[in-house]
């Protein structure tokens, strides 16, 4: 399994069975090294409905005939746009051909903003994602603040965790460091930082702050093999 960070919260997972994109915010993302017009995938996993996470989902999914897995309201909304969407809810898990997906709690908001009409569309509860495939488990926290039930995630025996550190809208580095200690993943990678001025952080300082767990700050396009 190959896992690649593509800036902001964009993560690509490549297994023997599928190429999976998580939160493909590409267009307008100055940190991303992908081209939304050419990127290929079989599956898209979404944590919540904010524009900087849904990103280019509709266009990518239609062009690739990709399955989109998302919280129920967001999946319904995307289905109305012609996307093949599978709805889920927090605490639920489902076995797909490419692996198992389970949604976890995330404390944040979830809505999609229609800029042209100045409408904010409610897209359900935000979530984190547990993706299990080829004997490995990846946790993508999505956007969230710190919450004590993160301690329960240690039971999932997570190989790789992606945690937001940007602050202001999500956990900052200090709270993310506590989360990493609770989750006990084999490796922790920071996401959701430096895309906008409000979330500028030093990822290397975050890695240095980690206790009882290993971490690595990935540059956009950098890959880890599990």
List, in sequence order, every residue forming a beta bridge with 45; answer none if it has no partner: 22, 69
Q: In this structure, are residues 226 and 15 in contact, taking their beta carbons and an 8 Å threshold?
A: no
C-alpha distances out from residue 121 to 40, 48, 154, Å: 27, 12, 34
> What is the CATH code for 2-218?
3.60.15.10
- Tokens 């290993």 locate to 214
Helix (H, G, I), strand (E, B) or coil at 48: coil
pLDDT in tens, the chain (226 residues): 999 999 999 999 999 999 999 999 999 999 999 999 999 999 999 999 999 999 999 999 999 999 999 999 999 999 999 999 999 999 999 999 999 999 999 999 999 999 899 999 999 999 999 999 999 999 999 999 999 999 999 999 999 999 999 999 999 999 999 999 999 999 999 999 999 999 999 999 999 999 989 999 999 999 999 9
Per-residue confidence (pLDDT) for residue 69, from 0 to 100: 98
pTM of the predicted model, to two decimals? Answer: 0.97
Q: Which strands form 19-22's sheet, in the order they lie side by side?
A: 85-88, 67-71, 43-45, 19-22, 11-14, 2-5, 223-225
Q: In this structure, are residues 64 and 93 in contact, taking their beta carbons and an 8 Å threshold?
A: no
Half-sphere exposure of 163 (CA within 13 A, CB side): 35
Q: Strands, E, within 16-60: which ranges?
A: 19-22, 43-45
Q: In this structure, are residues 108 and 125 in contact, taking their beta carbons and an 8 Å threshold?
A: no
- Where on the phi/psi map is residue 135: left (φ > 0), alpha (ψ -120 to 50), or beta? left
Separation of alpha carbons 74 and 110, rounded Å:
9
Give kind and range of the element (H or E) at residue 156.
Answer: none
The domain ranges of the chain are 2-218
Judged on CB neighbours under 10 Å (0-12, 13-18, 19+), 131 is buried
């Amino acid at each position: 399994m190959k896992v690649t960070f593509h800036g902001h919260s964009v993560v690509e997972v490549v297994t023997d069975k599928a190429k999976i994109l998580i939160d493909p915010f590409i267009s307008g993302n100055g940190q991303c090294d992908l081209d939304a017009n050419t990127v290929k995938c079989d599956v898209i996993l979404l944590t919540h409905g904010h524009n900087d996470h849904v990103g280019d989902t509709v266009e990518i999914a239609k062009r690739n005939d990709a399955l989109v897995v998302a919280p129920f309201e967001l999946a319904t909304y995307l289905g109305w746009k012609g996307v093949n969407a599978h709805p889920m809810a927090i605490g639920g898990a489902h076995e797909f051909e490419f692996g198992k997906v389970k949604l976890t709690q995330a404390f944040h908001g979830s809505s999609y903003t229609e800029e042209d009409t100045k409408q904010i569309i409610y897209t359900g509860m935000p979530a984190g994602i547990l993706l299990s495939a080829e004997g490995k488990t990846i946790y993508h926290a999505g956007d969230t603040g710190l919450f004590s039930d993160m301690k329960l995630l240690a039971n999932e025996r997570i190989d790789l965790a992606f945690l937001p550190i940007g602050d202001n809208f999500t956990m900052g580095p200090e709270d993310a460091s506590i989360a990493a200690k609770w989750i006990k993943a084999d490796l922790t990678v920071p996401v959701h930082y430096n895309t906008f001025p409000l979330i500028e952080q030093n990822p290397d300082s975050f890695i240095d702050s980690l206790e009882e767990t290993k971490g690595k700050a990935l540059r956009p396009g950098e890959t880890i093999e599990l």
